C-alpha cells in the first residue's frame, strides 16, 4: 500500500497547470523535460489505442486524470511504506497467530504430571515470529472471528486468552476436521470459557469423592492382597472421575445403554467404582472363591459385568465386555454388540446406545486392530454413531518401553486423524480439566455422531503388574513418581485453598471409605436394579433336535418372490440369466444350485421371524458370483436407488435381511460380527471370509469354520463351494 497524500502534494491541486505545461513541453520536445518525467510520459504514450495500435496523440483530460490518480498513489519513483500498510500487515499476522494456537497450541499445553518433557520450540506460537515487539502489545485488533466475547482486543489480552484456551492443562486437536461447522463448534466451546471449568462446590466435592474411591480401592487391595496381580490404576485415578461423568452425562442426554470395552489397567476399579460390583464378591475371588454361576475360573481382570445404575435421565444399562489378554481385540466386539442393540431398539443414529472404549497409550498406537476398527466408524454397515475413546496414557508401554520406542507419531492418538476424530489431551493431575474434557467429548459425540478421544496423560505408580519393579529400567521416571504426592492429595489441597472443603474433609472422606470396605458396606451406585457377571465362556447352543423342514409350497412361494425384479429395473445380462435360472429352479424345471438353495434357506428364516446378517468383502455378490443377493440396475448408480435386495421382500412383516460388503479387513470385521452375535442371539450372524485355505488344501479345496452361539447362532465360514461337502 502506498502512502496517501493530501492537497499539499506537489502533484495535486494547484500544481496541475505546471504538470500540464510539462506535458506540453514533452510533446514538443521530449528532451526538454527532466529524465524521470520523460520516462513517465513515455509510459503514458504506450497506452494502446482503440484500434489496437499505440497512439501518441493523447487528450489532455485523460492525462490530467491519470496524474490525479497517480498523486493519490504517491510521488514518482519513490515507494514509501505507510503506517496503514504496516497496521494491515499486523492485522493479518494476528489472524495467523490465532490460527497457530488453534492448530498446534496443544504442543505447548501443560499435560505431563511428571514434568519430564521440555516445551518444544514452536516459533509459530511466539509473537516475535510475526514481527511483533513489546511495543505492539497494547495495539487493539479486530477479534470478531474468535469466541472470546469481544469484537476488539489488545494483542496482550488476545495472547493471554489464546494461551489459556489452548496451552493450559487441556490441549485439543481439532483443526484437521474438514467440516467447518464442527470446527466452529469446538472453537466456541473452548474459547467462550478459555478451556476452564466453572464447577460448583458440590461438583468439586463429588470429583474428590471419586478420586478418593479410586485411590482408596487400589491401596486397600495392595495392603489386603499383597503381591497379587490387579493391574493397578494408581497414578491414573482421574480416569474414574472421567468414566463417572461420562455415564451420568450420557444418561442425562437420553442414552439408554452403554457398552464398555477395556483391557486390564484399572478394570477392577471400574467394576467396583463404576459398575457397582460388590467389593466382597471381588475379595472372594482374590481368595480363590467363585460364585456357583461362574462357569469358569477366568482371571478377575478378564471378566465382564452388567448393571443398571441411576442417572439424572433415569436408569441406564452398563455392560462391561469380557476381555482376553489381547489388549485391543475387544474394540470391534464392543462395536458389534452396540450395533446389535441399536438395531433392536430402532436406534438409527446412535442416540440411545453408546460405545466406550478404554485404551492404553502403547497399545493404541501399536495394535493394528485399532486402525481396522476406526475404519469401520463411518461405514453404513458398521457405524455406531460415534465412539468415545479414553486413553489411560501412563507414558510407558508394557514393562520398559518409552514413547521413543513405542511409536513414530507425535501423540499415541494420531491414528484417529484418519477419520478426523478430535482429541482432547488432558493432564491427569487436573481432575477438573479431565471432567470438562469428558463433558465436551460426550457433547460432541451426541451432536455430530462421530468418534472422539480423551487422552488422559498420567503415570503408572507401580509396575506393569504388582510383581514388577519398573525402576530397573526407568530409574529417573520412577524417582519422580516416588516423589509424586498423588492426584487425590493435590486436588484436595487445591479445594482447601479455594475454600471448598475444610482441612480435615479429605482425610475424613478417605477414612470413611476404608471403613466401608472393611465392613462390606461400600457401594459406588446406591440404586442398582440389576447386576450380572459375564465371562469369556460362550453361551451353549441348543442341543434339542428341531424340525427344520419347509413345506414345498412355501419354498415355491419364496422362490417366486426372490426371483421377482421391479419393473424398469435393468439387470446385467449375466445376472439376468442367474435370476431366470432360479425362477426355473423354483418351478422344478432344473436342479437347484448352491446359490438358490442358500436363498431359499435365508428366505425361510426371515419369513419365520429370524433376522439374518451376512457380511464379508464380497458378500452381496459373493467372491465367485454364486449369490447375487444384491441386484444392481445397469442404468443407475447403487447409491441412487439403483440396487434391489430380493430377500428383503420375501413377505410382509418379515424379519430383517442385511447383507454388507465389508471393508477389506478380517480381524475387526470378524470381531464386530462376533460382538453382534452375542448381543443378538436370535439373529443368524454370518461372517464370510473371502479366501481361506486348509493346511492340506489345493487351490480349490477350502476349509469351512462354524461357530454356534446362542439360539440362532453365528456362522464364520469361507467360500461356500466347500460347504456342500460338510
201-534 homologous superfamily? Thiamin diphosphate (ThDP)-binding fold, Pyr/PP domains (3.40.50.970)
pLDDT of residue 101: 97
pTM of the model: 0.81
- Closest-CA residue to 120 (of 133, 104, 134, 132): 104
Q: Which residue has the higher pLDDT, 671 or 220?
A: 671
Cβ contact 238:456 at 8 Å: yes
Q: Pick from 279, 285, 281: which is nearest to 298 by CA?
A: 285
What does the pLDDT look like over 224-255, one tens digit per residue? 766 666 677 888 999 999 999 999 999 999 99
Q: What's the whole-number mean pLDDT along residues 152-171?
A: 97
Task: Report the run of H or E that residue 534 belongs to, with start and end.
Answer: strand 528-534
Question: Is 277 in contact with 271 (CB distance < 8 Å)?
Answer: yes
471 or 12, which is more confident: 471
Q: Number of helices and strands (H, E) in the chain?
A: 22, 17
Q: In which band, very low, low, confident or very high, does the pLDDT at 162 lie, cut at 50, 70 and 90?
A: very high
Over residues 199-218, the pLDDT tens digits come to 999 999 999 999 999 999 88
Q: 46-90 pLDDT, tens per residue?
A: 555 445 445 554 545 555 555 555 555 555 444 445 677 888 899
pLDDT for residue 32 is more than 70: yes
Partners of residue 316 on adjacent β-strands: 309
Give the containing element (helix H, strand E) for 202.
helix 201-224
- Which part of the chain is CATH 3.40.50.12470? 552-725
On the question of pLDDT at 485 being above 80, the answer is yes
Above 90 in pLDDT, residue 463?
A: no
CA 269 to chain centre: 25
pLDDT value of position 601: 94
C-alpha cell at 213: 474411591
pLDDT in tens, 604-654: 999 999 999 999 988 999 888 889 999 999 988 765 567 899 999 999 999
Read off the pLDDT of each residue in 32-58 and give the average, rounded to a whole number. Answer: 60
> Residue 540: its pLDDT value, please?
47
Contact 435, 242 (CB under 8 A): yes
- In sign, the C-alpha dihedral spanning 353, 359, 361, 364 is negative
pLDDT at 558 over 60: yes
Interacting residues of 185 by C-beta distance below 8 A, sequence separation 6+: 444, 447, 448
Helical pair 60-73 and 16-28, crossing angle rounded to 10 deg? 120
Nearest CA among 471, 469, 466 for reference residue 483: 471
Residue 284's pLDDT band (cuts 50, 70, 90): confident
**Span 552-725 CATH architecture:** 3-Layer(aba) Sandwich (3.40)
Closest of 3, 44, 48 to residue 20, by C-alpha: 44
What are the φ/ψ torsions at residue 534 (nearest 5 degrees)?
Answer: -120, 140
Which of residues 291 and 658 earns the better pLDDT score? 658
* 386 has a pLDDT exceeding 80: yes
The DSSP code sequence of 52-110 is SSB-----HHHHHHHHHHHHHH--TT---B-HHHHHHHHHHHHHHHHHHHHHHGGGGS-
Of 237-241, 259-263, 329-333, 524-528, the poorest mean pLDDT is in 524-528
Give the tens place of pLDDT for each residue, 693-712: 334 433 333 333 333 333 44
Residue of 545 and 625 predicted with greater confidence: 625
User: Given a cut of 50, is residue 501 above it in pLDDT?
Assistant: yes
Lowest mean pLDDT among 8-22, 111-125, 407-421: 8-22
Statement: residue 507 has pLDDT above 60: yes
Stretch(es) of the chain classified as CATH 1.10.287.1150: 83-191
> What does the pLDDT read at residue 15?
52
Round the average pLDDT of the chain to a whole number and report it.
83
Backbone angles phi, psi at 6, to 5 degrees: -90, -170
Structure confidence at residue 69 (pLDDT): 59
Task: Return the C-alpha cell found at 629.
Answer: 443377493
527 or 193, greater pLDDT: 193
- Cα dist from 548 to 65, 588, 604, 650, whole Å: 98, 21, 10, 19
Say how many C-beta atoms besides its own lie within 10 A of residue 71's C-beta.
Answer: 22
CATH number listed for the domain at residues 83-191: 1.10.287.1150
Q: HSE on the CB side for 352, CA within 13 Å? A: 12
Q: For residues 24 and 705, which has the higher predicted lDDT (pLDDT)? A: 24
pLDDT at 622: 87
Per-residue pLDDT band at 348 (split at 50, 70, 90): very high
Band of residue 138 on the pLDDT scale cut at 50, 70, 90 = very high
Start-end ranges of CATH 3.40.50.970 in the chain?
A: 201-534
What pLDDT does 530 receive? Answer: 55
Average the pLDDT over each of 247-261, 274-288, 357-371, 515-529 and give the range with the smallest value: 515-529
DSSP 377-437: TTSTTT--S--EEEEEE-S-BTTTB-HHHH-SSSSTTGGGGGGT--EEEEETT-HHHHHHH
Calpha distance 120→143 (Å, rounded): 27
378 has pLDDT over 60: yes
From the list 529, 559, 376, the residue with the least C-alpha distance to 450 is: 376
Model confidence pLDDT, tens digit, residues 410-448: 999 999 999 999 999 999 999 999 999 999 999 999 999
pLDDT at 193: 97
Residue 474: the pLDDT is 78
Amino acid at each position: 500500500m502506498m502512502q496517501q497524500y493530501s492537497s499539499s502534494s506537489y502533484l495535486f491541486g494547484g500544481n496541475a497547470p505546471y504538470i500540464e505545461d510539462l506535458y506540453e513541453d514533452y510533446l514538443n520536445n521530449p528532451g526538454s523535460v527532466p529524465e524521470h518525467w520523460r520516462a513517465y510520459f513515455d509510459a503514458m504514450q504506450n497506452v494502446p489505442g482503440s484500434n489496437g495500435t499505440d497512439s501518441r496523440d493523447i487528450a489532455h483530460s485523460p492525462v490530467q486524470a491519470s496524474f490525479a490518480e497517480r498523486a493519490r498513489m504517491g510521488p514518482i519513483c519513490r515507494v514509501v511504506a505507510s503506517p496503514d500498510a504496516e497496521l494491515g500487515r499486523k492485522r493479518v499476522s494476528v489472524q495467523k497467530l490465532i490460527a497457530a494456537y488453534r492448530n498446534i497450541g496443544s504442543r505447548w499445553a501443560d499435560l505431563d504430571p511428571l514434568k519430564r518433557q521440555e516445551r518444544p520450540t514452536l516459533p509459530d506460537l511466539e509473537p516475535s515470529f510475526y514481527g511483533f515487539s513489546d511495543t505492539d502489545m497494547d495495539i487493539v485488533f479486530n477479534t470478531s472471528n474468535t469466541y472470546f466475547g469481544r469484537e476488539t482486543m489488545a494483542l496482550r489480552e488476545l495472547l493471554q486468552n489464546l494461551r489459556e484456551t489452548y496451552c493450559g492443562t487441556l490441549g485439543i486437536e481439532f483443526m484437521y476436521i474438514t467440516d467447518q461447522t464442527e470446527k466452529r463448534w469446538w472453537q466456541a466451546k473452548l474459547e467462550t470459557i478459555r478451556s476452564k471449568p466453572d464447577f460448583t462446590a458440590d461438583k468439586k466435592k463429588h470429583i474428590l469423592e471419586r478420586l478418593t474411591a479410586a485411590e482408596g480401592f487400589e491401596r486397600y487391595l495392595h495392603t489386603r492382597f499383597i503381591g497379587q496381580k490387579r493391574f493397578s490404576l494408581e497414578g491414573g485415578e482421574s480416569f474414574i472421575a472421567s468414566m463417572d461423568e461420562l455415564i451420568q452425562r450420557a444418561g442425562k442426554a437420553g442414552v439408554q445403554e452403554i457398552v464398555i470395552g477395556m483391557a486390564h489397567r484399572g478394570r477392577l476399579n471400574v467394576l467396583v467404582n463404576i459398575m457397582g460390583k460388590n467389593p466382597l464378591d471381588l475379595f472372594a475371588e482374590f481368595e480363590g472363591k467363585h460364585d456357583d454361576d461362574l462357569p469358569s475360573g477366568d482371571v478377575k481382570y478378564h471378566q465382564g459385568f452388567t448393571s443398571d445404575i441411576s442417572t439424572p435421565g433415569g436408569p441406564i444399562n452398563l455392560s462391561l465386555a469380557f476381555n482376553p489378554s489381547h489388549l485391543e481385540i475387544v474394540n470391534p466386539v464392543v462395536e458389534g454388540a452396540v450395533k446389535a442393540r441399536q438395531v433392536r431398539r430402532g436406534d438409527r443414529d446412535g442416540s440411545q446406545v453408546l460405545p466406550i472404549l478404554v485404551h492404553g497409550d502403547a497399545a493404541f498406537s501399536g495394535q493394528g486392530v485399532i486402525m481396522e476398527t476406526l475404519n469401520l466408524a463411518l461405514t453404513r454397515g458398521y457405524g455406531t454413531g460415534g465412539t468415545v475413546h479414553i486413553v489411560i496414557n501412563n507414558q510407558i508401554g508394557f514393562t520398559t518401553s518409552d514413547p521413543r520406542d513405542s511409536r513414530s507419531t507425535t501423540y499415541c492418538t494420531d491414528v484417529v486423524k484418519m477419520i478426523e476424530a478430535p482429541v482432547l489431551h488432558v493432564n491427569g493431575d487436573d481432575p477438573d480439566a479431565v471432567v470438562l474434557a469428558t463433558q465436551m467429548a460426550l457433547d460432541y459425540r451426541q451432536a455430530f455422531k462421530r468418534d472422539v478421544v480423551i487422552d488422559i496423560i498420567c503415570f503408572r505408580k507401580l509396575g506393569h503388574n504388582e510383581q514388577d519393579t519398573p525402576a530397573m529400567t526407568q530409574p529417573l521416571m520412577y524417582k519422580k513418581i516416588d516423589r509424586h504426592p498423588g492426584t487425590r492429595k493435590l486436588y484436595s489441597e487445591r479445594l482447601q485453598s479455594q475454600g471448598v472443603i475444610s482441612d480435615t474433609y479429605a482425610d475424613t472422606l478417605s477414612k470413611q471409605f476404608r471403613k466401608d470396605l472393611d465392613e462390606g458396606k461400600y457401594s459406588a451406585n446406591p440404586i442398582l436394579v440389576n447386576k450380572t457377571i459375564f465371562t469369556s465362556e460362550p453361551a451353549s447352543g441348543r442341543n434339542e433336535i428341531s424340525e427344520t423342514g419347509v413345506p414345498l409350497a412355501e419354498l415355491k412361494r419364496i422362490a417366486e418372490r426372490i426371483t421377482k425384479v421391479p419393473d424398469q429395473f435393468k439387470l446385467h445380462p449375466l445376472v439376468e440369466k442367474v435370476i431366470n435360472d432360479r425362477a426355473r429352479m423354483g418351478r422344478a424345471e432344473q436342479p437347484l444350485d448352491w446359490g438358490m438353495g442358500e436363498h431359499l434357506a435365508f428366505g425361510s428364516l426371515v419369513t419365520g421371524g429370524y433376522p439374518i446378517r451376512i457380511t464379508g468383502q464380497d458378500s452381496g455378490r459373493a467372491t465367485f458370483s454364486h449369490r447375487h443377493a444384491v441386484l444392481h440396475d445397469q442404468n443407475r448408480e447403487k447409491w441412487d436407488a439403483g440396487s434391489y435386495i430380493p430377500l428383503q421382500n420375501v413377505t410382509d412383516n418379515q424379519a430383517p435381511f442385511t447383507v454388507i460388503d465389508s471393508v477389506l479387513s478380517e480381524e475387526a470385521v470378524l470381531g464386530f460380527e462376533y460382538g453382534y452375535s452375542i448381543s443378538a442371539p436370535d439373529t443368524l450372524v454370518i461372517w464370510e471370509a473371502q479366501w481361506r485355505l486348509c493346511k492340506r488344501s489345493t487351490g480349490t479345496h477350502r476349509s469351512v469354520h462354524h461357530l454356534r452361539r446362542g439360539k440362532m447362532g453365528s456362522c464364520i465360514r469361507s467360500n461356500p463351494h466347500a460347504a456342500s461337502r460338510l
